[in-house]
Copies of this chain bind each other. A is one copy, B any other.
Amino acid sequence: METLRTDLPLTGDPASDAEAGLVEDELQRFFADAKLGAVAVGAPYLALWEALERAAAGGGRSRPRLVLLAYRHLGGTDTRTAARLAASYELLHSALIVHDDVIDRDVVRRGVPNVSGSYRTKALREGAAPALAEHAGATAGILAGDLALSGAYRLLRSLDVSQSIDRRLHDILDEAVFSAVGGEVFDVEFSRSARMPSLEDITKTAHQKTAVYSFEAPLQAGAVLAGAPDSAVAALKSFGRFAGITYQLVDDILGVFGGEDSTGKTGWGDLREGKRTVLLAYAATRPQWNSIASLIGTPDLGARDAEHIRTVLVTCGAKDFAVGLADEYAQRALSHLESDGVPAALRGRLRRLLLAVVAGVRTA
């Protein structure tokens, strides 16, 4: 139902911050070109592009930063080209979250109205009935997401690289889209079913929906653009897979135990939605489940219910289990970095990154 809420702890590193500035430049140029074309079509089209640009602003740029991290550490020197590749992953991310928000009927992201939310509000202000206003929001979200998806391909194709690198980069992007949609299909399926999915189903969905496009693909793409050996690309792909699952597990734990500050959410939104997480899948196998099953997924679930559920998730061992699983996936991720192709500096950087994430969940 949700994409990751927690940004990777990549900000604050001067090299990464400087590169991220170049990504902003690329995105700004992309949107400036698009808006110029949209103005010629008419004001409502410009407005949609502006809404998409706002939706793409303000994130932690985790995916672009992973592209650039791999690129720089694997000997890449054409940072401007890498920044454009990185920007294409940010547009892919925008496409997926804008459509995801339509599917989840979310109208807010990062504390501000998203594309659907802002169009819905506009329609309501203009006197539309609630159902029509919601549909106006969904329509804008569908179209804006299409523009972002097409934009991701456009930026990628505009790179000045050899045909063989171009093909590999496109294959990686295609695979990212293919997996993300596949993961979303399962996510939607689980959220509709009364049955609790298995642990395997949950980690598999996390892999398909999040790990591939947010970790595997950006790291691989950066490595391929840098001309890294196949062993390094393969190692980063495997690292990305398990790091991505780790992240999703951590994100799910923080969604219940993280409190409002760290995720920008109320701290029980996931419980109210009945989001299928490892916490719940584990708890559902324990006798204590009966005391919370009927609360989870109820629209009027409040702070006291949430506190009760948290207590049960701790006492039945679900929290420890989930934290342990996150640890385990983190270790599996790190083991893949022990490849000859991965330079020590990159290994160290990715290790610190992942351990910081897992440490965050220990104190939650």
Chain A residues proximal to chain B, CB less than 8 Å? 34, 37-38, 41-42, 44-45, 48, 95, 99, 102-103, 105, 128, 132, 135-136, 138-139, 142-143, 145-147, 149-150, 153-154, 157, 163, 166-167, 170, 174, 177-179, 181-186, 188-189, 192, 204, 208
Contacts and interface: CB of A to CB of B under 8 A. Distances in A.
Q: How many copies does the complex hold?
A: 2
Contacts of A182: 38, 41-42, 45
B174 A154 contact: yes
A146 B99 contact: yes
30 contacts: A34-B178, A41-B182, A42-B182, A42-B185, A42-B204, A44-B186, A44-B189, A45-B181, A45-B182, A45-B186, A99-B142, A99-B143, A102-B138, A128-B192, A132-B192, A142-B145, A143-B181, A143-B184, A143-B185, A146-B177, A146-B181, A147-B177, A147-B181, A150-B174, A153-B170, A153-B174, A157-B157, A157-B166, A157-B167, A157-B170
Given A154-B174, A174-B154, A178-B150, A142 B41 contact: no
Nearest to A103: B139
Given A38-B182, A45-B181, A163-B163, 12 more contacts: A37-B178, A41-B186, A44-B189, A105-B135, A128-B192, A136-B188, A136-B192, A142-B142, A143-B181, A147-B181, A150-B174, A154-B170
Among A41, A132, A136, A184, max chain B CB count under 10 A is at: A41
Contacts of A181: 45, 48, 143, 146-147
Given A146-B99, A150-B178, A138 B136 contact: no
A347 B8 CA distance: 58
Nearest to A40: B182
Chain A interface mostly: helix
Given A146-B149, A150-B174, A178-B37, A185 B99 contact: no
Given A157-B167, A188-B139, A150 B149 contact: yes
Contacts of A128: 192
A154 B142 CA distance: 20
Contacts of A154: 170, 174
Contacts of A136: 188, 192
Contacts of A157: 157, 166-167, 170
A272 B135 CA distance: 19
Contacts of A177: 146-147, 150
A294 to B, nearest CB: 20
